[in-house]
Amino acid sequence: MSSAVLVLNVSYEFLNVASLERAVKLIYKGKAEIVEAIPGRQIGSSTFKIQMPSIIRLLYYICRP
């Protein structure tokens, strides 16, 4: 897994670009949701499968100056 994923704040503001591995961890832990996924590409394990994200949105607000 070496793709980059755009990370947005809860208000859809740009925050960061994260690794695909970090994005999947945030989704799995319930801290983010997929906004845009790559069609036809799935990743996961035997118990957890999601579409490969290209953009995710955090479900909580990060205050940035």
Residue 39 has pLDDT above 80, yes or no: yes
Six-digit token string for 56: 């995710």
Query: pLDDT confidence of 64, banded at 50, 70, 90?
Result: confident
Query: pLDDT confidence of 2, banded at 50, 70, 90?
Result: low
Residue 48 has pLDDT above 90, yes or no: no
Q: How many CB atoms lie within 10 A of CB 45?
A: 7
Q: Which class for 23: exposed (0-12), middle (13-18), buried (19 or more C-beta within 10 A)?
A: buried
Stated pTM of the model? 0.89
Question: Maximum distance among all alpha carbons in the chain?
Answer: 41
| Mean pLDDT, range 49-56, rounded to an integer | 96
